[in-house]
Amino acid sequence: MEKCECKTSVKKELCNTQYLRRLWIMVLRKQEILAYCAAGVAFHMIASAFNFYYVKVFINHYHIEETWFQIAQTFHMIWTSISNPLFAYIQDGSKLKISRTRRESILYCGPLFAFSFIVPWFPWGDSSWLVGLHLIITFFLWDTMFTFIGLAVSSLFTEISRDTEDRIKLTRYAQMASILGGPSVMLLEFSSDSLHNFKAFQITSVCVAVCACSLFYYSGLNAHTEYDVKKLEKYELSKNSRVNVNKETYTNQVCQLFYDRNFIAFIVSNFCHAFHKTFLNSFIAIVCDQLISEDDVPLGVRKLFYGGISLMSTFVIILVTTFVSRYSYYYVIRSAFVYIVFAGFVMLHIGQDHPWCLMVFLLADNCASGATFSLFNMPLADIADDNKSKYNRKQPISSTVFGISALLSKPALSLSPMVTVSILNHYGYSELKNNTVEASHELKHAMFLLICLYPIAIGLVQLIAWSFFDIKQKTVQINVL
């Protein structure tokens, strides 16, 4: 690597800065990866615990009334639809210190995210309106910090490096990090005796929050990217030159994304994937309890199966990254879609009278779906890079890309259970819930058809949409100009 030879002192200084930055990136690559993983561990540590406990605590421990619970959930859905584009705009378009860089977003807001985790575990009072207000404030604080930090960490993935191999490493290490963050639920379960000792639960949750805060603080200090330096250079050049910087509106940036064929192709695939993944997460236990009897598969084996699904998915993701390095994420994701469709047809042909085959099919379907989802950060990162090059931006609008993508895929999280419950109730599932009677043959057959036809239909739509995504192989060097 050689320094640039420049005639003017200003250009020479700029070239020297770029040269030093290249060296700085090489030296700190491992430190950046470690900082990114630290944020991933902290994020997964408190997010998994919050999602696991908040319903149980407010319903079983605080005895919240159903009316207040539904009101809080409604406010939560409304705020979620607002927060994604709002915080994407703040992180990409504002000059606030907390959002000037991804590193500073994590540094200053990471502790607030950890604080929002412990807010629900300390009751405010016994009156129904106070418990309802507690849940509303909990949702507001949690979703605010969850969205803000989530966008910052996702954007960090894009901006740490534009090299495909680096992003594959980040994906692999992030999955390893999620294994380290997963035991927080187990720790809270054992320390509180499944919430029977609520005081111990509160103390342990504070310890988990402190640990997460420390990890966020480390990440905020060390998660540097090339764009941190670029922003400083841009500021210095603007003071010493007459270069005008065109400032785009946020609406214009969003419209540019909707004219991007790659982004639309990804959104359709991601929406279908969110629908499929939500179905698996929400209904796999319900379906297996009805289609697989204890005579065929012991209850202990089925519990082990439920608990091991997410862990198996994580290990599959780690293995899949090897194929991504060789064949690119585009072909790996396409192969997963092909498998999902093919496996659905095979299971439909085998029939519902083979419980062990059904369990293997569900496990493989969940692993394929989880592995695909873990790779979705890579096409989004490439879309952000492609948008940056196409419109000659100084840095990618990463938060906007991830935020709009999340906004458009979230309806699937509600649509999937609504459609599925409507179909099951049509075949008598509501009566089955209210009365301890055996499921009818029609209901079991409907469940089996959903298991097989969802992957077939969704996989075909994903294959068609994914064929329009044309960033198939991308290994680029960091452009520091």
Q: How far apart are CA 220 and CA 6, in angstroms?
A: 35
Q: How far apart are CA 370 and CA 178, in angstroms?
A: 13
Q: Give me the residue spans of the domains in the chain.
A: 29-223, 251-466
Do 251-466 and 29-223 fall under one CATH topology? yes
CATH superfamily, domain 251-466, is MFS general substrate transporter like domains (1.20.1250.20)
The model's pTM is: 0.66
| Residue 162 CB-half CA count within 13 A | 18
Q: How far is CA 403 from the centre of its chain?
A: 11
Distances (CA, A) of 480 to 9, 15, 164, 311, 385: 19, 10, 17, 39, 13
Nearest to 272 by CA among 421, 455, 448: 455
CATH for 29-223 (1.20.1250.20, 1.10.260.40, 3.10.20.30, 3.40.50.150): 1.20.1250.20
DSSP state at residue 123:
-
Please measure the distance between the N-terminal and C-terminal CA atoms of the chain and give it in whole angstroms. Answer: 16
Nearest to 325 by CA among 172, 203, 460: 172
pLDDT for the residue 258: 83
Q: Which residues of 92-128 are buried (b: 16+ CB within 10 A; e: fewer)?
A: bbeeeebbbbbbbbbbbbbbbbbebbbbbbeeeeeee
Q: How far apart are CA 436 and CA 444, in angstroms?
A: 15
Contact 226, 19 (CB under 8 A): no
pLDDT for the residue 310: 65
Q: How far apart are CA 317 and CA 259, in angstroms?
A: 32
- Residues with Cβ < 8 Å from 210, sequence gap 6 or more? 114
Task: Tell whether the torsion through CA atoms of 369, 374, 376 and 382 is positive or negative.
Answer: negative
Q: How far apart are CA 235 and CA 226, in angstroms?
A: 15
pLDDT (tens digit, 0 to 9) for every residue of the chain, 481 residues total? 444 444 454 444 445 444 444 444 444 467 777 888 888 888 888 887 887 777 778 877 888 876 787 788 778 778 877 877 777 777 766 666 777 777 778 888 888 999 999 999 999 888 888 988 998 999 889 888 888 888 888 777 777 766 667 777 777 777 777 777 667 777 877 787 777 888 888 899 999 999 999 998 888 887 776 666 555 455 444 444 444 444 567 778 778 888 888 899 999 998 998 888 878 876 777 787 788 877 777 776 776 676 567 667 777 777 777 777 777 888 888 998 999 999 999 998 888 888 888 888 888 888 888 778 778 878 888 888 888 888 887 777 777 887 788 778 877 776 777 788 778 878 877 676 544 567 778 888 888 899 999 999 999 999 999 999 887 554 333 333 3
Q: How far apart are CA 360 and CA 305, in angstroms?
A: 10
- Residues with Cβ < 8 Å from 38, sequence gap 6 or more? 177, 215, 216, 218, 219
Distances (CA, A) of 126 to 114, 142, 200: 25, 22, 20
Q: How far apart are CA 256 and CA 259, in angstroms?
A: 5
Q: How far apart are CA 150 and CA 152, in angstroms?
A: 5
